[in-house]
Amino acid sequence: MMTIACFHAHYSNIALIEEALAPYEVELVHYVDPGLDRLKHDADFTEAVTHEKVSQTLQWIAHCHADAILVTCTLFAAVLGQEAQHVPVLVVGIDDPLLQEMKRVPGRFILAFTNPATIEGTMARVNQALQQNDEHEQLHEAVTMGTEAVLIPGTFELIMRGDKEGYLAAVSAGLQQIAEQFPTKRVIAAQLSMAPAAARVTADAGMLIYSPLTSLAAYLEKNLNIIRR
* Number of compact structural domains in the chain: 2
Domain that holds residue 32: 2-93+215-223
Residue 138 neighbours by CB under 8 Å, 6+ apart: none
Q: What are the pLDDT digits (tens) for 14-53?
A: 999 999 999 999 999 999 998 887 888 788 888 888 899 9
The reply to whether 77 and 101 lie within a common domain is no
The reply to whether 79 and 141 lie within a common domain is no
Q: What are the pLDDT digits (tens) for 114-171?
A: 999 889 989 988 888 877 554 545 544 444 556 899 999 999 999 988 899 999 999 9
88 vs 104: CA distance, rounded Å: 28
The reply to whether 162 and 82 lie within a common domain is no
Count of alpha carbons within 13 angstroms of residue 144, beta-carbon side: 18
CATH number at residue 68: 3.40.50.1860
DSSP state of 177: H
Instruction: Establish if 200 belongs to a structural domain.
Output: yes
CATH number at residue 107: 3.40.50
The reply to whether 103 and 193 lie within a common domain is yes
Instruction: Establish if 133 belongs to a structural domain.
Output: yes
Instruction: Establish if 101 belongs to a structural domain.
Output: yes
Query: Residue 170: what pLDDT?
Result: 98
Instruction: Establish if 174 belongs to a structural domain.
Output: yes
Instruction: Establish if 228 belongs to a structural domain.
Output: no
Largest Cα span, the chain: 49
| Phi, psi dihedrals of residue 31, rounded to the nearest 5° | -120, 120
The reply to whether 110 and 198 lie within a common domain is yes
Exposure class string for 167-190: b at 16+ Cβ within 10 A, else e: bbebbbebbbebbeeeeebbbbbb
